[in-house]
Amino acid sequence: MSAAKLTPPRVDLVGRLDAKSAFSQINLTLLELLEASGRWAVGHRSGPSAKSTASPPDLTIWQDWEDDFASAQTPTTGKLAAIRPWDFGPYPPTWAEKIRRDCDELWIHSSWTRQLALRSGVPSEHIRVIPLGVDCDRFCPEGDPMALPSQCRSFRFLFAGATVRRKGFDIAVDAFLEAFDPGEDVCLVVKDRTDGVFYSGQQGVDARLRLEPYVEAGNVAFVHEHLPIDDLAALYRACDVLVLPYRAEGFALTAAEAMACGTPCLVPRFGACLDYCDDDNALFVSPRRICLPVAREIAYNTLGFTAKVDEVDFCEVPVEVLTRRMREIFEHGKQDLRARGVLAAETIRTRFSLGSMARNLDEAIDSLVSGRARRGRGQVETLR
């Protein structure tokens, strides 16, 4: 008698796939990795209140930013893993309580976010770090660079991402304008996301307007349109350094993508990027750390959701420090940058590829589906 065919565990992903946001892109990647594994019966729902059309899942992976996390309905059957990074310090107490009460695991992407979750009272056994992965077949040093406007100067700093204060766009603009005179052979290329669903009304309009007079001379170039992956990789290859003086990041996928293309990054020596940036493959700037009690309600996106936080912990790159560092990098030339770029691409290819992410994801699902539920334990662990 042949053995009965076993039904594979059912895994549901909850979260939007079609929004113009990093979260939708990550959800698409997660869904593709789950389906490519072939080990799970995979389902998808756009939000926690959406009904599943199949049998109850053995595991729900929840990354939905269009419902209020603290009050959103959570599944009552199967295990639950919430992907919920928080960048600016310890998690809001209501979030930490929901994670302890309703979730079997919190999945986050960096050692920095793990520290923040621990400081919030989320038990260590509830936390799993699953770094994001980069498609290194497409984000790679091989391939043509993007053809930028002909007037663009030959040494190119790139700012890529939402032009918001959290990512330090205002600092990058101030430093670039302080560091260089019009007519010097240097350009700041800005790839922004003007239509991001979570950044409406937050873009650094004033900073962008300050750059406009330098476009014609070739010292500034804007790339506003949404770029397919291959075009985005070509843009990274067309530039010499990604400058990202962020105040807070949960992983900084843009930096990892640029590194995979052989473009080293200029980043703060603080936070999430330290998982993959070091003195050999990246360029650092020393920030000030801002850690203080606040006890206030803050809006964490533009959809009207707020959360009360007790403490903030982030960094601030002084404009004058970034100004000097950008000047040093420009005057030092491109040879050192190429050597760092080779090491940067190797780091991402060997440790932060989609293959690495898929292996971590499979391990996490195996552990949860085969293990005991942890919800409702109410334990508190602190790290100070």
pLDDT digits (tens, 9 = 90+) for 316-362: 999 999 999 999 999 999 999 999 999 999 999 999 999 999 999 99
Phi/psi at 91 (nearest 5 deg)? -60, 150
Using pLDDT thresholds of 50, 70 and 90, give the confidence band for residue 45.
Answer: confident
- How high does pLDDT run on average in the chain? 89
The Cα-based distances of 341 to 241, 311, 353 in angstroms read 9, 37, 16
List the beta bridge partners of residue 44.
13
Is the pLDDT at 137 greater than 90? The verdict is yes
| Cα dihedral sign, 45-48-49-54 | positive
Beta carbons of 196 and 105 less than 8 angstroms apart: no
For tokens 């959809």, the residue is: 303
The percentage of the chain sitting over the pLDDT mark of 90, rounded to a whole number, equals 73
Say how many Å lie between the first and final Cα of the chain, rounded. Answer: 59
Is the pLDDT at 380 greater than 60? The verdict is no
Using pLDDT thresholds of 50, 70 and 90, give the confidence band for residue 383.
Answer: very low
The percentage of the chain sitting over the pLDDT mark of 70, rounded to a whole number, equals 89
- What mean pLDDT comes out for the span 170-184? 96
| DSSP one-letter code for 144 | P
For 210, half-sphere exposure in the C-beta direction (CA atoms, 13 angstrom radius) is: 15
Using pLDDT thresholds of 50, 70 and 90, give the confidence band for residue 381.
Answer: very low
Number of Cβ atoms within 10 Å of the Cβ of 261:
28
pLDDT at 66: 78
Q: Which residue type is seen at 68?
A: D
Using pLDDT thresholds of 50, 70 and 90, give the confidence band for residue 71.
Answer: confident
Using pLDDT thresholds of 50, 70 and 90, give the confidence band for residue 18.
Answer: confident
Is the pLDDT at 302 greater than 80? The verdict is no
Instruction: Determine which helix (DSSP H) or strand (DSSP E) holds 229, and give its type and residue range.
Output: helix 229-237
Of 73-87, 107-121, 159-173, 190-204, where does mean pLDDT reach its minimum?
Answer: 190-204
pLDDT at 56: 87
